[in-house]
Chain A
Amino acid sequence: MSSTEELALRLRRHVVRMCSRGGSAHVGSGLSIADIVAVLYGAVLRIDAAKPQWPERDRFILSKGHAGACVYAALAERGFLDVSALDDHYRNGSRLSGHVSHKGVPGVELSTGSLGHGLGVGAGMAFNLRRLGGKQRVFVLLSDGECDEGSTWEAILFAGHHGLGNLRAVIDYNKLQSLGRVSETINLEPLSAKLRAFGWHTIRVDGHDHNALRAALADAADDRPLCIVADTVKGRGVSFMENEVLWHYRSPQGAEYAAAMLELGVDVVASHA
């Protein structure tokens, strides 16, 4: 297992544990992006936990804020937070809200949760950083359902028009949105062709293949924004959660929690025996 694959496994354990302890929804969303987030935080993002506001840092925006647990976990693994702080997720008085929040959480660039906000803000960051001659890159992770939002396409138009080569979007294309299949709700296909028509460079990858993700995310910048359309599986890593809309909502408890953790290599029953 590569170091980022090991990180992804730890992120999945954190996500399942946080969603169980907090009684929170969106466990399937967190598992869907675990590999993308692990490659970003483990191998791509130029960030420094000792200097969260370092001006030269890359920016990362989780536009699909409902998968916040996975980003909090990555920030903890990278030393921005204490791992023990993850226990507070979703609890009364916690700063670790269900949808990702920047308030009092070092390393979070943008609070999100309402879909369709992240790409526009990321485009503004990329525009201004480029204007100032900076080398920083701006990464934005979107959901597929979020591509229903008009504001997402406004930002796609803007970034394409301005050739924001320092902007890299990743679409977590797990084919499931809130109430069902993307193809049966608002079909996005042909998704890559749409993005190319808007002036973007696109790469389609298996969103759980770390080598492919790393190569795509490191793709040499040109004068076009880059969108990685990442084919993913919602709930990836826990067999009974995979491709099930139910796990957009359900919190794993009791035997379900134990079974999920066992699939991720942790025997919670034995460890409590």
Chain B
Amino acid sequence: MSWPAMREAFVQALTELAARDDQIMIVNGDLGFGVLNDFIERFPSQYVNAGVAEQNMTAVACGMALTGARAYTYSIGNFPTLRCLEQLRNDVCCHAANVTVVAIGGGFSYGQLGMSHFATEDLAFMRTLPGMTVVAPSDPWQAYELTMQLYARGGPAYLRIDKGSAGLAAGPVEFGKVRRVREGEHAVIFATGAILSEALAAADLLAGQGIGVRVVDVHTIKPLDVEGIRAAVEGRAHVFTLEEHVVTGGLGSAVAEVCAEAAMSLKTFRRFGLEDMFPDVVGDQRFLRARYGLDAASIANVIRQILVN
């Protein structure tokens, strides 16, 4: 089955889950015009719009979970994460509550809307919360599969939904395990979310120039597949990471921690992501990736220069 975007795939998965589990609850932050209509119509008692009040949305979801519900908070970008970070820490995570935080619009998905809607630090914040699972699918089919697998796992979780898509055909995906999506012998790029497409395109460009790049999809940021990452680096001295996110605390940091703790002897470790700044212009996802050096051509250029020298 295919969906126009990750958001629809998530809603489809949750609708199927709600049909067999009446403890599924959506606690919405007053967003998602039209997207949830079918769910609401079919399961009116399993949906509540908490209004524009993310702290309460999160606390209510936690209270529901502590009385048996499987609660899903739903909002855009930073609202269900940063705005209510302490509710996530103290209420949801400390109590190991069955609350999944669903953020629509990872990275530059809402690139024209401005700074408030750039979700570019979320992975770092969510990753540091004790007990929080962090997942960033790369394609709609993956969002569907991982929603199902997160449900089976239970506990606090963060699901980062991207507007874009890596464009890969559906295949097996296992929560907590990295996927190798392109082989190459000289270097390895780890990417998370839909921006995986830029890593793949960069690998294509480099392949034409005789540089083989292995591309690894890290859809599960936490718990991190430490063994899978070590194995993917094996025999390669040049390691790159790519994320639509600041370079501090997200995927790049997580992979660096694995490499450092394994005392790997690398020639290159380079994180592609946003530096310590706020973007000064707006634009669509592709435009902003290019502006900040996160598009395939920019990545390929950097990798080529490093490997040729």
Contacts and interface: CB of A to CB of B under 8 A. Distances in A.
A121 interface: yes
A120 B60 contact: yes
A124 interface: yes
B94 interface: yes
Interface string B34-64: 0000000000010010110101101111111
Contacts of A126: 63
Contacts of A110: 66, 91, 95
B51 A127 contact: no
A121 B50 contact: no
Nearest to A116: B55
A141 B9 CA distance: 41
A40 B307 CA distance: 71
B63 A158 contact: no
Contacts of B45: 131
Contacts of B61: 124
Contacts of B62: 120-121, 124
A244 interface: no
B64 A117 contact: no
Interface stretch (A71-79, A147-155, A168-176, A247-255): A147-155
Interface string B55-77: 11011111111111101000000
A65 B172 CA distance: 46
Given A117-B59, A121-B91, A126-B63, A158 B53 contact: yes
Interface string A125-162: 11111011000000000000000001100110110011
Contacts of A117: 59, 86-87, 90-91
B86 A158 contact: no
A109 interface: yes
A256 B62 CA distance: 42
Sort chain A's interface into a size bin.
20 to 34
Sort chain B's interface into a size bin.
20 to 34
Nearest to A151: B55
A244 to B, nearest CB: 30
Given A117-B87, A128-B25, A123 B60 contact: yes
Most chain-B Cβ atoms within 10 A of its Cβ — which of A121, A122, A127, A151?
A121
A127 B56 contact: no
B53 A124 contact: no
A119 B68 CA distance: 18
Contacts of B50: 158
A162 B69 CA distance: 18
Given A114-B86, A158-B60, A125 B67 contact: yes
Contacts of B91: 110, 117, 120-121
Most chain-A Cβ atoms within 10 A of its Cβ — which of B55, B61, B71, B95?
B55
Nearest to B87: A117
B55 A127 contact: no
B60 A121 contact: yes
A127 B60 CA distance: 8
B95 A120 contact: no
Contacts of A150: 55
Nearest to A121: B63
A194 interface: no
A211 interface: no
Nearest to B27: A124
A126 to B, nearest CB: 7
B56 to A, nearest CB: 4
A192 interface: no
Interface of A: 55, 59, 102-103, 109-114, 116-117, 119-129, 131-132, 150-151, 154-155, 157-158, 161-162
Chain A to chain B: the 5 pairs with minimum beta-carbon distance, closest first: A124-B63, A120-B59, A154-B56, A124-B60, A125-B63
Given A124-B59, A127-B64, 11 more contacts: A102-B95, A111-B90, A111-B94, A120-B60, A121-B60, A121-B66, A124-B60, A150-B55, A151-B59, A155-B59, A158-B51
